[in-house]
Structure 1
Amino acid sequence: MEQVKILDPTWMKYFGEGTTFILWLTYFPSKILGLSYTTGNLLFGFLGFIGIRYIFLLVYNYFPTNHDILGIPLFPTVFYISNLHFWTSGVGKDSITFWAISWFLFSIQQYKEKWWQATIAFFFVYMARPHMGQALIGGAAVAILMGTDIKRSYKFGLATLAVIGSIFMSSYTLDALKLEDFDLATLEAFSSSKSGNLNTVNVGSGVNISSYSIPMKLFTYLFRPLFFDAHNIVSFISSFENLLYLWLSLFIYKNWSVEALRDMPLFLKAAMVTFIPVTFAFMNALSNLGIAMRMKNMLMIYFYFLFVFNCT
């Protein structure tokens, strides 16, 4: 609660976007029930687990076949990737955002019955990280228009709602982020300022991306740290994960098909359309590999499943 100084603090005075939203969520269990920070980690970790369960069910139900590497099946092995659990197991925006994005995608995949759940899930994404909520609702609109498994009457209705929602929320998103517009330069400056002192080359996982070309920035964001970047056990373990992503990326270039793109389930289309602008925003701003691993964890697993789907 000391992260945000509020005179005469009460529960609703903490309500807002970002960190204040997390303080609002934790006010009752912390201040009223007196639960410890360890208990809070268990509660938020449980939400992270529910998010993983949503993704597990989506892949189980909508992916036709599996693929393996060296005899090891990609599904369900992906659900044991370390960073997937590291960033979704504690009190903070990461657990909430990951859980809510998974819930949102799970709900729009079954939009006829669960559209109202998508609305609730979007609320949590937007309140925890407004820029992610804005990207997610825009991604859902484009994915719905691209979808071939949605009836035309539903498609235009859902897409219209998503577009209207995206436009309506844009002004609130700018206010929440204290930005004037959504141009790339503004988003880069915002991401850099939010990263603070860790976003430098003076820390163990810092890199000087200002001198990198655009392809190298993209490679750094998606696939590093690799083993030559490892400076502790966490980055060393992450290197195995990033090496897997890199290998699958090279594999998919050889096996890409238009049919696979067309036949992707709605949730994966929405996730990938969201993933692209978020990636381009962060790759130009985050010069700390640890922060990059944290920020890309919200959507990276869907990037992974893009490979799995196209390898089948």
Structure 2
Amino acid sequence: MVNYYYLEGNPSDSQYYWFVNNSNFDSSIWFEYFRIGTPFMRWINYPFAVLLKLPFWVGHFLFSIIGLMAVFQLFKLITLIVGNSSARFNSSIAALWLLLPNLHFWTSGITKEVICLLCIVTVFLQTYLKQWWSWQVVIAAITLALLRPHVLLMLTSGIGAAYLILVPLSRKRKLLYTALLFIMLLIFYLMVCQIIHIDPWDIDRWLLNNHRWRDSFIGSGSYVPIQYYNYPYKLFTFFFRPFFYDVSHPYGWILSIKNLLVFGLLIWSAIRYILKYKMVKWNVTLLSMLLFNIIGALIYIQRYAGLGIFARTRSMFIPFFI
């Protein structure tokens, strides 16, 4: 409800995805929207918004159900990971982080992040269960490829690297898997280039495009000159800002308190890891989550320059970071 009323007064892409304004309607048939990127988001919503003419608030309700499914999947994953390595108390503490408002705010509206989060947590859950090619993984991967291929690229990079690092393989098999991983990443990269209409081999055009994207945030209330920060502060900005010194709105205080808790958890976890590093047992899923966060952050800080878009984007990352 909070997300719905917020977007009612602050128009966003959600209205476009749900065909809210008359100017968004056209004579196109449903499957003309079956294309990579934003058109696929509209293809998903077309039967409900156009054919059934369901109101905007119903769309929020439907996407809230998807977001809740992602949270339940995440809780199941936390229970499996923590339950196998620690006491029930730690499992309960970890589950409490699912109550943080930012996660539920951004997973209760008509956004791509809602669907992406469900797909990501599904893949991580299936990899933890060692169901590498289950139907859930296939559907999640196809959905991400059509909706946000760059997120699938980050996810595949993290899982592939973790698998090659931790799973004992013969030299021949490791070379084969590395080649397959490279081919998959190349395909996803070309899909990203197709969406933004960039020559995949033109590095200067990529840098210029990223510069223009960052400049597009100038004038917004949440703009930050991230291109002038050093890399540690860039990563801090992506994961933990807005912080208290950024606050200019009551909502900023809520975000700052949440970010302080997450930052405190990171420090606490780092200290515990240093003290008990010999007892820590990494597996493919845990290392995949860590690499997914690092890769995703390093990519997004090249392109975004707004605290608001960081808060929304990291809803796909911070649950696994925690």
**TM-score category (smaller protein):** 0.7 to 0.9
Residue 254 of structure 1 aligns with which residue?
271
Residue 129 of structure 1 aligns with which residue?
148
User: Taking structure 1 as reference, are residues 269 and 240 closer, same or farther at Cα in structure 2, changes over 3 Å only?
Assistant: same
Please point out which of 87, 96, 106 is paired with 1:87.
Answer: 106
In structure 2, give the amino acid aligned to 1:65. S
SS at match of 1:112: coil
User: Taking structure 1 as reference, are residues 113 and 294 closer, same or farther at Cα in structure 2, changes over 3 Å only?
Assistant: closer
In structure 1, give the amino acid aligned to 2:301. M
Tell me the distance in 1 between the aligned counterparts of 2:294 and 2:33.
32
Tell me the distance in 1 between the aligned counterparts of 2:244 and 2:97.
20
Tell me the distance in 1 between the aligned counterparts of 2:282 and 2:22.
42
Residue 219 of structure 1 aligns with which residue?
236
How far 1:58 moved relative to its partner? 0.9
Give yes or no for contact 2:149–2:189 (8 Å, CA) kept in 1.
no
Tell me the distance in 2 between the aligned counterparts of 1:186 and 1:67.
52
Residue 86 of structure 2 aligns with which residue?
65
The 5 A counterparts of 1:1-312 are: 1=19, 8-63=27-82, 64-65=85-86, 74-112=93-131, 115-148=134-167, 162-181=181-200, 189-190=208-209, 193-194=212-213, 197=216, 199-200=217-218, 202-257=219-274, 258-259=277-278, 263-304=281-322
Paired-residue identity, %: 24
Give yes or no for contact 1:14–1:23 (8 Å, CA) kept in 2.
yes
TM-score (norm 1): 0.82
SS at match of 2:256: helix
Tell me the distance in 2 between the aligned counterparts of 1:3 and 1:107.
42
SS at match of 1:65: coil
How far 1:6 moved relative to its partner? 8.0
Give the count of matched residue pairs. Answer: 297
Give yes or no for contact 1:130–1:173 (8 Å, CA) kept in 2.
yes
- The alignment's C-alpha RMSD in Å is 3.2
User: Taking structure 1 as reference, are residues 187 and 81 closer, same or farther at Cα in structure 2, changes over 3 Å only?
Assistant: farther
Give yes or no for contact 1:275–1:299 (8 Å, CA) kept in 2.
yes
In structure 1, give the amino acid aligned to 2:184. G
Tell me the distance in 2 between the aligned counterparts of 1:95 and 1:185.
33
Give yes or no for contact 1:189–1:285 (8 Å, CA) kept in 2.
no
How far 1:174 moved relative to its partner? 2.0
Give yes or no for contact 1:141–1:160 (8 Å, CA) kept in 2.
no
Tell me the distance in 2 between the aligned counterparts of 1:188 and 1:80.
38
Larger CA deviation: 29-38 vs 246-255: 246-255
Tell me the distance in 2 between the aligned counterparts of 1:4 and 1:143.
46
User: Taking structure 1 as reference, are residues 195 and 29 closer, same or farther at Cα in structure 2, changes over 3 Å only?
Assistant: farther
